[in-house]
Amino acid sequence: MLLRDGSRLGQAFVILAILPKGVVNPMTPNTQQSITIHNTGNPEATAKGHIGAITQNNNGTGREASWHFTVDDRYIVQHIDTAFETWNTLAGKAGNATTIAIEICEFADPVRQALAEDNAAALVKYLIAKGIPNVVKQHHDWSGKDCPHTIRARPNGWQDFLNKVNEEEGEMKLSVQEVDYILSVLGKYWHDMDGSKEIQDYTHFVANRVREESGRPKQ
């Protein structure tokens, strides 16, 4: 399965950056029986920034690792068709040839991190709607590795992520205080921007999505 380039899932725009056949993309079949969530282990690097890294891996000049999607607060980058296996589980064929791998970027900024995880949940929801079984795993389930560590570090973090995947469309599970806080932080970011219209427009878009989903009027 390939996403549509330029489409939107959650708060993110989709970018197709599909790898050719290579070292970590041998184009062997993937039975797509589950979805596995990872963290990149690369603090502050964006989804776009991982295009170069996985390309190096595929050329044989990087790590022996690959995955289908990298997700951050703004973009979902697809690197490999979900019909093909990736090298992501540390569990050999039992994992690599049966699961779809999603890498979530890591940010110190809690708002960016929350948006990245929300976008990953939206991607999982989309894949399930397209017929992938609703079997969502942590990398930890395959190998025992503490991954996705940003989610696992929070009390009930994994269950909260699964709740986002399974909640009804349009449902906003945030308190009034949480919505107020998110909007105040986004407002501060908008005013502190360095003049980049693209970033300001995106921040305004996200704020209006929060307002809309929580039943408030757009501004």
**Domains of the chain listed by start with CATH number:** 8-166 (3.40.80.10), 176-213 (no CATH)
Residue 100: CB atoms within 10 A of its CB come to 26
Mean pLDDT across 132-154 = 96
- Does the pLDDT at position 171 exceed 60? no
Q: What is the pLDDT of residue 173?
A: 58
What is the β-pairing status of strands 12-16 and 8-9?
A: antiparallel
Q: What is the pLDDT of residue 100?
A: 98
- Does the pLDDT at position 12 exceed 90? yes
Average pLDDT score over the chain:
89
Three-state DSSP at 34 gives strand
When comparing pLDDT for 184 and 102, which is higher? 102
Q: What is the pLDDT of residue 203?
A: 73
> Sorting pLDDT into bands at 50, 70 and 90, what band is 32?
very high
- Does the pLDDT at position 219 exceed 90? no
Q: What is the pLDDT of residue 69?
A: 99
**CB-based burial, 9-48: b 16+ in 10 Å, e otherwise:** bbbbbbbebebeeebbbeeeebebebbbbbbbeeeebbbe
Mean pLDDT across 139-163 = 95
> Sorting pLDDT into bands at 50, 70 and 90, what band is 190?
low
Q: What is the pLDDT of residue 35?
A: 98
Lowest mean pLDDT among 77-81, 180-184, 189-193: 189-193
When comparing pLDDT for 5 and 203, which is higher? 5
Cβ-contact 67, 54 below 8 angstroms: yes
> Sorting pLDDT into bands at 50, 70 and 90, what band is 169?
low
- Does the pLDDT at position 101 exceed 70? yes
Q: What is the pLDDT of residue 194?
A: 57
- For residue 148, what is the DSSP state? S
HSE-up of residue 158 (Cα within 13 Å, Cβ side): 16
Three-state DSSP at 19 gives coil
